[in-house]
Structure 1
Amino acid sequence: MPRLTTAMIATFTLAPMAAFGATEYPLTLTSCGHEVTFDKAPESVVSVGQSTTEILYMLGLADKVAGTALWINPVLPEFAEADAGVERLADNAPSFESVLAKKPGLVVTAYEWMIGPQGVVGTREMFDDAQIPSWIMPTECVGKDNTQSMDGARSVLFDTALLYQGIEELAAIFDVQDRGAAVIADLKAREAAAVERAQALDLPETVSGLFWYSSAEIEIDPYVAGANGVPGWMMSKLGVRNVVASAEEWPTVGWETISKANPSFIVAAEMNRRRFPADDIAVKRDFLTSDPVTSEMGAVKNDRILTMPANAMDPSVRAIYALESLADSLAGFDLK
């Protein structure tokens, strides 16, 4: 099976660049409709989610991270040493009490289903009452409605500008604007190169794709990528049609329907989580090749099944790395 990797992970050297002014406190931001004010840079932070944790590490703030949770894949290799010194409160959702016990100056996440109106960790009001500011990545709420389902639905295609906005806001909160600007500049350059590589493939309009995250049970309808999430963004840059048209972030779609759409290739999520049997990439591949419906799809017959770190399918810096790898992998297929 061809494999997507992050072998070309960027190393952010934070090269000298134009100096940015220091943050003027008090700093007030609006985070997913919730106003947050900082009188000074937080002395510590709890990060609920791999995406925000790795951004904090990129900003050189590992020493500020008092605890992390909600890990899907191993940490990026260049941050393994720093992460080893940070307490992991939970592999999945931490309890509200475990977060409060760290007495953080801030709690951050990329998901409203973690911290939000029905947050499994807590609501914004619960953290306000505890006098702990909470901040959510703008990727989670701009152009996205999370009121009808846990994963929400996007009314517009994911835009990496929201990712960069999140990095910029975190840099301002912690008064490390120079570091934030360096990280963003490096990511934008890498994204531009990845998009150029993707567009250079010049794939026919008939090429289509499917991104499979997981399944609650292996034989029932899988969770697949909707039209406007990160995988939809990747496919738009590749000039590839998503066989799933739903605005939901991760709708369930029957394999019979998917088989009729007959995607040219399938990208399956790889993760360390084992909430469902289909979280295991080996289980996914075995199902695709043995099931009487899925085994008849062209992508399966022609071994056009790719793997991708699950976190890269969510709004994160890994999405940019994954676009690079996806373009390289598709170049090796006979899709013209």
Structure 2
Amino acid sequence: MNVARHILATLSLIPASHAMADSTSYPLTLTNCGMEVHFQSAPNSTVTVGQSATEILYALGLADRVAGTSVWFNPVLPQFRDVNADIERIADNDPSFEAVVNKKPDLVATQYEWHIGPTGSVATRRQFHDLGIATYIMPADCDTKDNATGGDGTRIAAFSPDSVYKGINELATIFDVQDAGAALVADLEAREARAIANAEGLELPEDLSAVFWFSSPELSAAPYVAGRLGAPGYIMDKLGIRNVIQSDEEWPTVGWESIAKADPDVIVVAHMDRRRYPADAVDKKHEFLHSDPVTREMAAVKNGHIIEMDAHAMSATMRTIFGLETLADALSTLSFDR
């Protein structure tokens, strides 16, 4: 069953007294990632900078309001393939400020504050606001997170899907489609509960450990691995897995010697279409793990406990719930006899 059908099915189960949410009252003012944003009416045209914002708008039935997309890690979800094919992808990675502005959007919705924020790589929020273009940053990238530390930021508290659900509900309010937002959140919450229940039924070892490898600037360089408080940390916590990386940074670099010393039971590797770094390619990750004199001696490599996951699911997005499902399903096929 695809997301759209899930939404309709979930909505049909909501009692009639609660099924219809209040309509948005404009003008609307929201505080988003520390800045007030104002809407005189629902935006007619939006440019997305980040796959998370794109897929949430599609899931809310708002594809006709999306004028352009950018920053993609994985193919769009299958149920949105047709609508996405008709929308211009203005950049696979970071778009230019001019490319975004030239689409004449009413709103720019972004996944990461480092793209559109105080020192945005695309532009600052003020630059867009000065042109009368509203901006919205997904709360999952600023709630419980300090992006002023550089790089991918540092979590000041553990990520929770509640920040994703907050973003869904706020976008639904901005566009006055609250019923679709409530149904999407209900569907994701149900999937989350099922994945956790399935994992509990596996009776995994109590001391099971893992590391999540996103990519590396060079294959032999220290990899970008998941810190303990981000989306992968949430996935591991819900499945009762210990993260061998204890940093609060979102994606710290940690040497393979240190990772090998921790010797995690499972290595989760990111699968993505992006090719910014050599290690973006998942086959290169596998090749390195099996050939490097340090990594090939790790228990996870010797035992074949290497699990692939969409890179986008490793970010704080609605796909994090899909990543939870992916890992729970994969663990059910592995043996951990010790």
Q: TM-score, normalised by structure 2?
A: 0.95
Equivalent residue number for residue 327 of structure 2: 326
Which contiguous aligned blocks of 4+ residues in structure 1 show a shift greater than 3 angstroms?
8-13
Q: Is the 8 A contact 2:7 2:187 kept in 1?
A: no
Contact preservation (8 Å) 2:3, 2:59: no
Measure, in 2, the Cα distance between the counterparts of 1:13 and 1:82: 17
Q: Equivalents in 1 of 2:306, 2:60: separation in Å?
A: 35
Q: Aligned pair 1:182/2:183, yes or no?
A: yes
The alpha carbon displacement at 1:322 in A equals: 1.6
Structure 2, unaligned runs of 5 or more = none
Query: Cα distance, 1:318 vs. partner?
Result: 1.3
Tell me the residue number matched to 1:104.
105
**Are 2:295 and 1:294 equivalent residues in the alignment?**
yes
CA distance in 2, matches of 1:288, 1:173: 46
> Any conservation in 1 of the 2:27–2:38 contact (CA below 8 Å)?
yes
Deviation at 1:332, TM superposition (A): 1.5
1:209-248 alpha-carbon deviations (Å, 9 max, x no partner): 0000000000010000000011100000111100000000
1:199 and 2:205 matched? no
Query: Which residue type is aligned with residue 134 of structure 1?
Result: T
Quote the offset at 1:142 in angstroms: 1.0
When the two structures are aligned, how many residues end up with a matched partner?
329
Q: Tell me the distance in 2 between the aligned counterparts of 1:9 and 1:150.
A: 35
Whether contact under 8 Å (2:7, 2:180) holds in the other structure is no
- Separation in 2 of the partners of 1:274 and 1:139? 25
**Residue type matched to 1:231 in 2?**
P
Structure 1, unpaired ranges of 5+: 1-7
The structural deviation recorded for 1:307 is: 0.5
Give the secondary-structure state (helix, strand or coil) at the position aligned to 2:320: helix
Instruction: Give the drift of 1:197.
Output: 1.4
Q: Offset of 1:9 from its aligned partner?
A: 5.5
CA contact (8 A) 1:299 1:305 kept: yes
Corresponding residue SS for 1:210: strand
Q: Which has the higher contact order (CA 8 A, sep 6+)?
A: 1
The answer to whether the Cα contact below 8 Å between 1:225 and 1:249 also exists between their aligned partners in 2 is: yes
Supply the distance in 1 between the matched residues of 2:253 and 2:159 (Cα, whole angstroms).
19
Q: Counterparts of 2:61 and 2:231 in 1: how far apart (Å)?
A: 26
Alignment partner, residue 43 of structure 1: 44
**CA distance, structure 2, for counterparts of residue 125 and residue 202 of structure 1:** 51
Equivalent residue, structure 2, for 1:27: 28
Cα distance in 2 between the residues matched to 1:45 and 1:150: 27
Name the structure 2 match of 1:130. 131
Q: Provide the residue aligned with 2:259 in structure 1.
A: 258
> 1:93 matched to which residue of 2?
94
Q: For 1:24-60, what per-residue CA distance to the aligned partner results, in whole angstroms no more than 9, with x for missing partners?
A: 0111101110100111101110010111100000000
The offset of 1:13, in angstroms, is 4.0
* Aligned residue in 2 for 1:4: none
**Identical columns (%):** 56
1:106/1:132 contact within 8 Å kept: yes
- Matches of 1:198 and 1:81, distance apart in 2: 33
Deviations 1:114-170 (A, max 9, x none): 100111110011111111010001111111000011310112111001110100000
AA partner of residue 191 (structure 1)? E
State the secondary structure of the residue aligned to 1:24: coil
Q: Which residue of 2 aligns with 1:5?
A: none
Once superposed, what is the RMSD of the aligned Cα atoms?
1.1
Tell whether the 8 Å contact from 1:198 to 1:323 is kept in structure 2 after alignment. no
Say which is worse superposed, 196-205 or 289-298, in terms of deviation: 196-205
CA contact under 8 A between 2:211 and 2:267: conserved in structure 1? yes
1:205/1:241 contact within 8 Å kept = no
In 1, are the aligned partners of 2:222 and 2:254 still within 8 Å (CA)?
yes
- Matched residue SS, 2:269: strand
In structure 2, what is the Cα distance between the partners aligned to 1:105 and 1:243? Answer: 44
Cα displacement (A) at 1:335: 2.0
Alignment of 1:96-245 (within 5 A): 96-245=97-246
